[in-house]
Amino acid sequence: MPKMKSHSGSKKRFRLTANGLIKRSKCNKNHILNKKTRKRKRNLRQGGYVHHTVEKTVKTMLSGQE
């Protein structure tokens, strides 16, 4: 059985912190920005953390192990 490859899309979207949390960027900041308020666009600039229910899945995708 060959080695599992890490998920290329996940590598670009997520970063692991020293505490073991997974950082992510927020969505909805690419286009159709006219109707979104200034406050909403400003808040979308800040990142967030992956929810604990999905954390295991994302870590598996990043590490490439099953």
Q: How many domains does the chain have?
A: 1
The whole-model pTM stands at: 0.81
Per-residue model confidence as pLDDT tens for the chain (66 residues): 888 899 999 999 999 999 999 999 999 999 999 999 999 999 999 999 999 999 999 999 999 876
Range of the domain at 25: 8-58
Look at the block and give the residue holding tokens 């998920």.
7
Burial 20-35 (b: 16+ CB within 10 A, else e): eebebeeeeeeeeeee
Q: Assess if residue 63 is contained within a domain.
A: no
Per-residue confidence (pLDDT) for residue 15, from 0 to 100: 95
Per-residue confidence (pLDDT) for residue 55, from 0 to 100: 96
CATH of the domain at 30: 4.10.410.60
